[in-house]
Amino acid sequence: MDESREILLSDKSLHERLAKQVQAEYLLSWKNQKAKKDEWFVRLKLYNNQKRDKDAVGDTTLFTVFQTILASLYSDRLTVEFGGREEGDEEVAENLNAMAEYDYDEMEKDEIDYDWIWNTLFFGRGLLAFYEYERDPDKGIYLPIPEVIDPIPFLHDPQASSINGNRRKKGSARFMGSEIKMSEQEIEELPHKTDTFKIGDLSFGSGTYSLLADTIEARDTAQGRTTQKLQGEKNLGVNANYDITRWYTHFKFEAGIKKVIVWLANERTKVVGLQILKNDYWPLIDRPLYPTAHDFDGTSIPDLTEDKQRARAVAQNLGLRAMKADLYPMYIYDSNKILNPKDLNFAFNKFIRVTDTDNRGIANSVMPLIKSRPNMNLLDFIYNSLDIAAQKATATPEIQQGIVSEEKRTLGEINIVASKVDTRYSLSAKVFGWSEKRFWRQWYQIYKDNFTEEIDEKVIRLVGAFGAKWRPLKSKDIIAKLDPDIKIESKILSRAQQLEERSSLTQYFSLALQDPTSNRRWGLKKLGKLNGLAKDEIDRLFPPTIDERIAEDQNELLNQNKYVEVLREDDHNVHLEVHSKAAETNATKAHIETHKKALSIRKLKPEFFPEEAQATAFQPPGTQRLSPVGLRAEARPMAASQTSGQATP
């Protein structure tokens, strides 16, 4: 441990100042957001309706709409593709793409995504902490560890519009954090634990302003559980959990203002751990659903459906009561004729004694009580109107929910509805793409900051058309000179784009490939990609030619600015295509110009290539031309005066 870090973790006065600052920030945020948290507690009960009156029925509008949108967004996996920003970074980008696919499974990102999307839909903004990692150099293990944050106990700067704001940090949070549960062992293993803290200093309980205790109680109530009492937690020994506040804030040190993460116990009066962040942004990623400009919370699914569910539940129960009233009506009877009310109790083959005292007959002895009847048509209209309003607000019509529409609709109308639903959902997918890009940028940054060339090695498993293979990667294999470009695509949207592009290119290629000079091989590879074939599957269908393999090997030399000879038997067009991927060195420029010169000589002096003329004579129309083999080209690389920079041999 270096001296500055020892001072940081043992400076008691610094810890007291920091705890006092966090107390003020926490209380400010709590007062600003407590009312909204209370509303979330109520909505947790509405979601599964377990706490409704047992004599009544509950409506499922919130759950139905929520699950429909959740299923759509979760199944539409967002894919990531890294791209190099300068020559020579293509191989690094390919390694990053392979490693991202491997880490997706290892990080269990499919489960992370479910919880992240669920929180986003229910609370309007989902949160993810992403700065920890697992490392075991002996086993070739290095894995970033994302963590989904519970939005209910999370408090943020009231003036923030997002976690990190825009590119100029405008609207970013000055401070934020939440209470979490930590065991004694987890606290002891905290890598940034302060020296001024001892386990014996810990106390149980959350205090007056604890959102975590309210959150646990609300979830227990919604699920019909009994909340555990504090005394029961104390009796668990080393398994007991303590209430710790993990807070992100700015703090002024002697060296200047720094972003820090601080862990506090005992109602935020005791600093347990302290970490200064390396980067100038928070290692948290927020994902909005329907973001509102300049506002942190945005709009959630319960915001749009809660009132409809309550009103529909009222309409349903009123309808049930009206039905019961029709089945069990009220009656009036003449007490002068029916002297014993018990005679009116129902029984089969029962005779009731009636005395006709006024000689008006017995027909009017018992009569139904005439009362106002509810307008069932109006009730049904209101009920359905509320359902339609919820569907419109969230773009989840009955067809999208897997329900056959009550109205008869044409196939064309159904297709139009489906396309418009996809348009609305694609907006959410694109908004999700913002946070997905930040996720993979942070994933790369964790490797960049902590993956060392001397110690770490990443071993990944690649599964392709040729079977599984293992590839070890060092820092130079995955860290580019310039941070790579990151492209995020919706699986559904990219597939639709592929289908459209495939349809148009298929028609075009059918005409273009009739030209004998066209690159038939490239066209078929392109169509294979648009049909969903992976790169290794396409390579197995179209194995690289000898010219492609030779050119790939030559690229390694050209990247090092080393001279590579151009041969007469080279397929110069193939070489030019492959060499376009090489770094732009002097050797590469000279080599490419030599291939161009060879093509020019072949056109002007065809007698120098008699083998090609002979081979072409036997080719059927539309096939790719063959290159002559076994002859050396007289063309030499360009002179140094024709290129800039260093001279080449």
Q: pLDDT tens for residues 465-479?
A: 455 567 788 888 888
Closest CA to 193 of 101, 274, 138, 297: 274
Query: Rounded to the nearest 10 degrees, how much is the dihedral formed by the CA atoms of 156, 158, 160, 161?
Result: 100
Task: Tell me, letter by letter, the H, E, C secondary structure of 45-82.
Answer: HHHHCCCCCCCCCCCCHHHHHHHHHHHHHHHCCEEEEE
Residue 118 has what DSSP assignment? H
pLDDT at residue 338 in the model: 81
Q: Specify the amino acid at residue 172.
A: S
Is a pLDDT exceeding 80 seen at residue 223? Answer: yes
The phi, psi pair for 474, rounded to 5°, reads -105, 175
Question: Picking from 181-185, 301-305, 339-343, which range would have the lowest pLDDT averaged per residue?
Answer: 339-343
* More confident of the two residues 163 and 227: 163
Alpha helices for 293-375 (secondary structure H): 301-327
What single letter denotes the amino acid at residue 20? Answer: K
Amino acid at 194: T
Yes or no: say if 527 and 506 are a contact pair by the CB < 8 Å rule: yes
447-465 per-position pLDDT tens digit: 999 998 877 888 887 655 4
Residue 541 lies in a domain: yes
pLDDT of residue 635: 36
Residue 142, domain member (yes or no): yes
Beta-carbon contacts of residue 457 (< 8 Å; ≥ 6 apart): 137, 140, 142, 472, 473, 474
Domain tally, the chain: 2
The whole domain housing 541 covers: 494-642
- The span from the CA of 143 to the CA of 132, in Å, is 9
The predicted structure's pLDDT at residue 441? 95
Q: Could you give the C-alpha distances from 291 to 295, 300, 386, 491, in angstroms and in order?
A: 8, 9, 24, 22
Q: Is residue 445 in a domain?
A: no
Rounded CA Rg of the chain: 36
Query: Coil, strand, or helix at residue 168?
Result: coil
Question: CA 67, CA 64: separation in Å to the nearest integer?
Answer: 5
- Which pLDDT does position 372 carry in this prediction? 67
CA separation for the pair 122, 36 (Å, rounded): 13
Give buried/exposed letters for 535-560 (b at 16+ CB in 10 A, else e).
Answer: eebbbeeeeeeebbebbeebbebbbe
Report the alpha-carbon angle 641-643-645, nearest 5: 95
Residue 332 identity (one-letter amino acid)? I
Residue 428 within any structural domain of the chain:
no
| Burial of residue 125, with CB atoms counted within 10 A of its CB: 0-12 exposed, 13-18 middle, 19 or more buried | buried
- The model's pTM is 0.75
DSSP state of 200: G
**First-to-last C-alpha distance (Å) of the chain:** 52
Q: Does a structural domain hold residue 234?
A: yes
Asked if residue 579 is part of any domain, the answer here is: yes
Report the alpha-carbon distance of residue 554 to residue 564 in Å, rounded: 7
Per-residue pLDDT, 26:
96
Q: How many CB atoms lie within 10 A of CB 102?
A: 19
Question: Domain boundary at 274, 293, 312, which?
Answer: 293
| Listed residues 293, 316, 334: the one ending a domain | 293
In which band, very low, low, confident or very high, does the pLDDT at 383 lie, cut at 50, 70 and 90?
A: low
Residue 221, Ramachandran bin (φ over 0: left; ψ between -120 and 50: alpha; else beta)? alpha
Over the stretch 117-158, which tens digit does the pLDDT of each residue have?
A: 999 999 999 999 999 999 887 777 889 999 999 999 999 999
By CB atoms closer than 10 A (0-12, 13-18, 19+), residue 256 is exposed
Q: What percent of the chain has pLDDT over 70?
A: 82
pLDDT tens-digit readout, 581-605: 887 889 999 999 999 998 888 888 7
Strand partners, 242: 182
Is residue 539 assigned to a domain?
Answer: yes
Q: Other CB atoms closer than 10 Å to residue 157's CB: what's the count?
A: 20
Higher pLDDT, residue 349 or 648: 349
Q: CA 173, CA 155: separation in Å to the nearest integer?
A: 10
pLDDT digits (tens, 9 = 90+) for 183-217: 989 998 888 888 888 888 888 877 788 899 899 98
pLDDT reported for residue 392? 65
- pLDDT at position 284, please? 96
Query: pLDDT digit string (tens) for 311-337?
Result: 888 888 888 887 787 778 888 888 888
The predicted pLDDT at position 250 comes to 96
- pLDDT tens-digit readout, 393-404: 665 655 555 554
Structure-token pair, residue 448:
């960049």
pLDDT at 152: 95
Q: Which helix or strand (DSSP H or E) is residue 595 part of? A: helix 586-604
Distance CA 184, CA 238 (A): 6
Q: Rounded to whole angstroms, what are the CA distances from 152 to 32, 176, 357, 439?
A: 14, 13, 73, 22
- Give me the pLDDT at residue 610, please: 61
What average pLDDT is seen over the chain? 80
Q: What is the 3-state secondary structure (H, E, C) of 90-101?
A: HHHHHHHHHHHH
* 3-class SS of residue 343: helix
Q: Of 293, 318, 343, which one is at a domain's C-terminal end? A: 293
CA 188 to chain CA mean position, Å:
32
SS3 357: coil
Whole-number Å distance between alpha carbons of 529 and 524 = 9
- Spatial neighbors of 185 by CB under 8 A, at least 6 apart, are 238
Within a domain: 11 = yes
**Interatomic CA distance for residues 475 and 447, integer angstroms:** 8
CA 75 to CA 117: how far, in whole Å? Answer: 11
Q: Whole-angstrom Cα distance, residue 421 to residue 45?
A: 29
Give counts: helices (H), strands (E), the chain. Answer: 19, 14
Residue 230's pLDDT is what?
Answer: 62
Q: Report the pLDDT value the prediction gives residue 602, as an integer from 0 to 100.
A: 82
- Would you state the pLDDT for residue 498? 64
Assess contact for 30 and 155: CB atoms under 8 A: yes
499 vs 454: which has the higher pLDDT: 454
